[in-house]
């Protein structure tokens, strides 16, 4: 199952020069339990179970 992050990375191409906003990151947090830091790396949050 592909993550929402993977889809986002496809949508945000250098061609479009689109920025990842805080809102995008927050949406990813909700969907994926991950955040994108400034280097574009992803860190997994501890699960809330």
Question: For the segment 1-49, what is each residue's pLDDT rounded down to a tens digit?
Answer: 555 555 555 555 555 555 656 666 666 665 555 555 545 555 555 555 4
* Locus of tokens 């805080």: 22
Verdict on whether the full-model pTM lies above 0.75: no
Domain ranges across the chain: 4-44
Query: What gap in Å lies between CA 39 and CA 2, rounded to an integer?
Result: 21
Structure confidence at residue 7 (pLDDT):
57
Structure confidence at residue 3 (pLDDT):
59
CA dihedral 37, 31, 22, 12 (to 10 degrees): 80
Q: What stretches of 1-49 adopt beta strand conformation (E)?
A: 34-36, 42-44
Quick check: helix, strand or coil at residue 14?
coil
Structure confidence at residue 49 (pLDDT):
45
Quick check: helix, strand or coil at residue 4?
helix
């Amino acid at each position: 199952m592909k993550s929402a992050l993977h889809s986002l990375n496809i949508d945000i191409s250098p061609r479009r020069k689109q920025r990842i906003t805080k809102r995008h990151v927050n949406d990813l947090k909700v969907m994926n339990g991950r955040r994108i830091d400034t280097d574009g790396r992803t860190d997994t949050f501890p699960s809330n179970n």
